[in-house]
């Protein structure tokens, strides 16, 4: 069964059309990557699923019911957590406070909060070391970890990850992807990942969609596509 199903999605900001037509689906436990160049509409698609960007047209279903018109907070409470492109951690709050806020919807259940917090700190020990530091003082990679850890605090069924490699040094990207792979192994979390960094993303993905100028141009199995696809064409056109 499909956990997430996006049908005929269109996103526009005023007159500007960011996403023309996107159809995609993600099955439970799957890791699906949305690949594309700058401005292809990847982030808009993701934010629109999360309920932040206005949907011009189209339909988004999660676990069999429509979430098209729901607010971001409602969508999160159904089990979709988002790690946005710029990480968007709260820079003037402590690392620990960021983590605590991530668990906002579980606030009445201190046992779950404690348990998930321990899991997050196990996954990212550096965050534990820095928990009393102001989040804005973390390095880019640490901020990315914090954004992921914060999202996990809501004990989501599905994670929307927007370009975790953005602006990070290659060795740090390597590390972040190791963490994501580890996360995948330890849980049955379903992931929809948006990336420009094709090779890195393909290494952990089950399936791939290619997005170009607001439209899905092709899709397929990650392992097959890795070798056969003409990436130049996807990114730069003919």
Partner 1 sequence: MILQFIVDVLSLGSMYALFALGLVLVYGILKLVNFAYGELILVIGYSIFLLKGSPFPWFFMSFIAIIMCIFTSIATDYVAFRPVREKSVTAVLITSFAFATLLQNAALLLISAKPKNVPMPSFLSDSVQFLGVITPVRNLISILVAVVCLFIFFQFMKRSLLGLAMRASATNFNMARMLGIPANLVITTAFALSGLLAGIAGTLWMSKISMVFPGIGLEPLLIAFIATVIGGMRSIQGAVLGGFILAFIDMSFNYLLPQDILKFRDAFTFSFVILILVIRPEGLIRGPATGART
The binding site for partner 1 (CB under 8 A) comprises 50-52, 71-73, 76-77, 81-82, 84, 88, 90-93, 97, 100-102, 104-105, 107, 136, 150-151, 154
Please report the sign of the dihedral spanned by the C-alpha atoms of residue 102, residue 79, residue 58, residue 6: positive
> How near is the Cβ of 217 to partner 1 at its closest, in Å?
28
> How near is the Cβ of 234 to partner 1 at its closest, in Å?
29
Q: Distance between alpha carbon 117 and the CA centroid of its chain, in Å?
A: 20
Shorter beta-carbon distance to partner 1: residue 55 or 200: 55
> How near is the Cβ of 86 to partner 1 at its closest, in Å?
9
Shorter beta-carbon distance to partner 1: residue 154 or 190: 154
Shorter beta-carbon distance to partner 1: residue 102 or 214: 102
With a CB cutoff of 8 Å and minimum separation 6, the contacts of 93 are: 101, 134, 135
Joined tokens for residue 221:
């199995």
Residue closest to 124 by CA, chosen among 96, 154, 88, 97: 96
Residue closest to 218 by CA, chosen among 4, 44, 23, 19: 23
Shorter beta-carbon distance to partner 1: residue 139 or 221: 139
> How near is the Cβ of 136 to partner 1 at its closest, in Å?
7
Shorter beta-carbon distance to partner 1: residue 31 or 53: 53
> How near is the Cβ of 53 to partner 1 at its closest, in Å?
9
**Consecutive H or E run containing 171:** helix 170-186
> How near is the Cβ of 104 to partner 1 at its closest, in Å?
5
Shorter beta-carbon distance to partner 1: residue 55 or 212: 55
């Amino acid at each position: 069964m499909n956990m997430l199903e996006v049908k005929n999605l269109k996103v526009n900001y005023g007159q500007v059309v960011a996403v023309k037509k996107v159809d995609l689906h993600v099955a439970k436990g799957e890791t699906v990557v949305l690949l594309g160049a700058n401005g292809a509409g990847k982030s808009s698609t993701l934010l629109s699923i999360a309920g932040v960007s206005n949907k011009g047209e189209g339909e988004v279903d999660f676990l069999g019911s429509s979430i098209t018109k729901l607010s971001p907070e409602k969508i999160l409470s159904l089990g979709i957590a988002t790690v946005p492109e710029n990480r968007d951690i709260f820079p003037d709050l402590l690392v620990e406070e960021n983590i605590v806020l991530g668990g906002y919807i579980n606030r009445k259940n201190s046992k779950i909060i404690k348990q998930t917090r321990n899991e997050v700190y196990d996954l990212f020990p550096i965050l534990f070391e820095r928990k009393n530091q102001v989040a804005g003082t973390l390095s880019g990679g640490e901020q990315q970890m914090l954004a992921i850890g914060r999202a996990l605090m809501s004990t989501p069924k599905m994670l929307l990850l927007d370009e975790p490699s953005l602006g990070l040094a290659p060795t740090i990207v390597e590390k972040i992807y190791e963490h994501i792979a580890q996360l995948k192994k330890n849980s049955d979390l379903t992931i929809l990942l948006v990336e420009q960094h094709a090779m890195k993303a393909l290494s952990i993905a089950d399936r791939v969609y290619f997005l170009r100028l607001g439209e899905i141009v092709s899709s397929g199995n990650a392992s097959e596509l890795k070798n056969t696809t003409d990436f130049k064409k996807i990114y730069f056109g003919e």
